[in-house]
Structures are given as C-alpha cells and as structure tokens.
Amino acid sequence: MKTVVVFFVFFLAVVCARSVRAEEPQHFEVVDFSKLMPFLPEAPAGWTADKPDGTTDDVSGVKITSVHRDYKKGAADNAPTTSISILDSAANPDYVTSTTAAWNMNVSTPEGYTKALTIEGMPGFETFENEGKVGTLWLVVAKRYILQIETRDQDPKDLQEWLKRVDLKKLTEVK
C-alpha cells in the first residue's frame, strides 16, 4: 500500500506543479508533517500498526505534506489490512475543487460500487470492489486535507469504522 501512497503523492506533486501559474505567485503554506502524525490512530485491538511516516517536500517550488500508516490484523499473507494517509493540499486549493468535482456520481454493479458522500459537512467519495474486498474512502477535511482510508479483505462498513478513529474535528483546527 505504501507504493500506492508514494505514487499518489508523486501524482499530486505533478498536478500541483503544473497548476501553479508563473504570472500568479502562490503563497499557501502546508503544515509540517509532524502536526499531522498524531491523527494516524493507534492499532485497534487485535491489529498491529507500522510506525507512521511522513514528509514535507518541496517539488518544483510547491510544498507537499503527507503522512501515512499501515495496519494489519494477523500474520497471514491474506490478513485484513488498512492504510490511512493524510495529504495537505493547501498549496493548491484548485486541486481540492477539481478532485471533488469528480465525486458527483453513484454507481453500483455486481463488481462493487462508487458513491459520493458527505460526512460532517465535508465532501467525500467511497469505492468498494467485491473481489478482494477492497474499499477506499476519501474525505476533504477543512477544504485542504485529503484523508484517504484503504481497506483490504474487510467489509464496506469497516471504512466508516476506521474513519471514526480519526479525530476530524481536531484535524480541521490544524493550521
């Protein structure tokens, strides 16, 4: 799952760098990763958690902060897993707008579903693939933080259970 997060952060960096216009200097600051690390919860009972990791990088003049943590239940190769990531997109508010614009669809098929959602007034998007029981939930917190929760070998309801472990109210206050 770390590979997915690294790719996601790299992709976002490219999008951010391309959207910064030379004639319009940007003056948005991201928070240091150390301020977001406490929002990656401890492992619930019966689970283990990797050490959380995070970075604040400057990519082509655009700062990006991200934090990530992986969780696993049991030692088997096919044990249920979860990853939680938080990305500070303050350096590119247009990214939030364009991302959430694509979240206005609800589709259900025999293979799974995608659906837009709103949690505590914040826009989000959830997908679930029946094969592999892979779920992903994205939520935009405080119009700047992209929270991503990905579950594997778990039921769809588990996405919401993992979300409850993240203190959204306190995250909205981080500046």
| Per-residue model confidence as pLDDT tens digits over 28-62 | 689 999 999 999 999 999 999 999 999 998 877 77
Considering the entire predicted model, what is its pTM? 0.83
* pLDDT, mean of residues 146-165: 97
Q: For 143, how many CA atoms within 13 A lie in the half-sphere containing its CB?
A: 3
8 Å CB contact between 159 and 137: yes
Tokens standing for 45? Answer: 């009972």
3-class secondary-structure state, position 50:
coil
Is 161 strand, coil or helix?
Answer: helix
Domains present along the chain, CATH in parentheses: 2-172 (3.30.200.100)
| DSSP state for residue 88 in the 8-state scheme | E
Contact yes or no for 85/67 (Cβ under 8 A): yes
* Strand bridging mode 134-141 / 122-129: antiparallel
User: CA 156, CA 18: separation in Å to the nearest integer?
Assistant: 35
| Residues forming a β-bridge with 146 | 87, 140
pLDDT above 90 (res 11) = no
Cβ 40 vs Cβ 67: under 8 Å:
yes
Q: What is the mean pLDDT of residues 124-137?
A: 96
pLDDT digits (tens, 9 = 90+) for 114-129: 999 999 999 999 999 9
- Residue 91 confidence (pLDDT): 67
Q: Would you say residue 2 has pLDDT above 90?
A: no
What are the residues whose beta carbons fall under 8 Å from the beta carbon of 108, sequence distance 6 or more? 115
pLDDT at 80: 97
Q: Which pLDDT score, from 0 to 100, does residue 8 have?
A: 42
The rounded distance, in Å, linking the Cα atoms of 58 and 75 is 37
CA 107 to chain CA centroid, nearest Å: 21
With beta carbons less than 8 A apart as the criterion, state whether 113 and 129 touch.
Answer: no
The answer on pLDDT for 92 being more than 90 is: no
